[in-house]
């Protein structure tokens, strides 16, 4: 029989994605009408490959990512820039295949290149952590990156994740390259301690 915790995680696949507001951003559930906006930033060859995924080749492909991954397999938000109501990226949780036995999800994100370097992803990631340890009752959040992806490394560092080490040659990506993986995590008690320090 599934434990209460694994039941909660399974429910995430189908549960309603709640809207989360930050100062400059709105994180909201994906809609099938977002395909063209997703394609707009995901076709850029400077975006996906940093996260290990292939640039999108058509609006139809972006549509399938929304319906098959963001809406089904992930607890995923579209990131909306409030000032102009524009969809600028994605952030969300998926199951962490390395940590199946605990109440942990893996955080992942991507942002349109024209929006890099303005602190948006750090703002979004902090909101996702608040929601993960709050409404989703997670005990741990993990995140992985290519060690060469320095920008993401800074986001992870600014959020306060614990660096666990680097698995060498452990991640096969879309183009057949096998990359090292820098591994990070945050436990609920560590998140609470950061909150107490006024993070
Ligand atoms: C990684 C990504 C989400 C970062 O988003 P962002 O909104 O630009 O991030 P922030 O602005 O919050 O923070 C970026 C930090 O990286 C720093 N940075 C930028 N270029 C850098 C570089 N070449 N080397 C080191 N740090 C760099 C910025 O100065 C900033 O740090 P600071 O606040 O201390 O100045 C965005 O670049 C992206 O979508 N990349 C492609 C997809 C991807 O890599 N996804 C993550 C997979 S793990």
Residue 2: what pLDDT? Answer: 43
Domains of the chain: 4-140 (3.40.630.30)
Residue 7: what pLDDT? Answer: 45
For the chain, how many helices (H) and strands (E)?
7, 8
The finding on whether 142 has its CB within 6 A of some atom of ligand 1 is: no
**Segments in the chain below pLDDT 50:** 1-4, 7, 10-11, 14
The finding on whether 145 has its CB within 6 A of some atom of ligand 1 is: yes
SS3 106: strand
- How many Å apart are CA 83 and CA 94, to the nearest integer? 29
pTM here is 0.94
Q: Of all protein residues, whose CA lies closest to atom 3 belonging to ligand 1?
A: 110
Kindly give the distance from the C-alpha atom of residue 115 to the centroid of ligand 1, in angstroms, as a whole number: 10
Residue 73: what pLDDT? Answer: 83
């Amino acid at each position: 029989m599934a434990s209460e915790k694994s039941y909660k995680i399974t429910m995430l696949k189908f549960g309603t994605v709640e809207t989360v507001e930050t100062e400059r951003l709105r994180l909201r559930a994906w809609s099938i009408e977002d395909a063209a906006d997703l394609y707009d930033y995901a076709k850029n060859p400077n975006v996906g490959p940093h996260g290990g995924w292939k640039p999108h080749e058509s609006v139809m492909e972006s549509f399938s990512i929304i319906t098959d991954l963001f809406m089904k397999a992930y607890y995923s938000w579209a990131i909306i820039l409030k000032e102009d109501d524009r969809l600028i990226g994605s952030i969300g949780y998926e199951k962490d295949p390395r940590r199946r036995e605990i109440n942990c999800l893996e955080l992942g994100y991507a942002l349109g290149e024209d929006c890099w370097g303005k602190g948006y992803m750090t703002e979004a990631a902090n909101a996702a952590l608040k929601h993960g340890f709050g409404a989703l009752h997670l005990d741990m959040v993990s995140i992985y990156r290519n060690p060469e992806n320095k920008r993401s490394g800074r986001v992870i560092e600014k959020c306060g994740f614990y660096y666990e080490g680097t698995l060498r040659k452990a991640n096969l990506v879309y183009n057949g390259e096998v990359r090292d993986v820098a591994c990070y995590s945050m436990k609920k008690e560590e998140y609470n301690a950061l909150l107490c320090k006024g993070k």
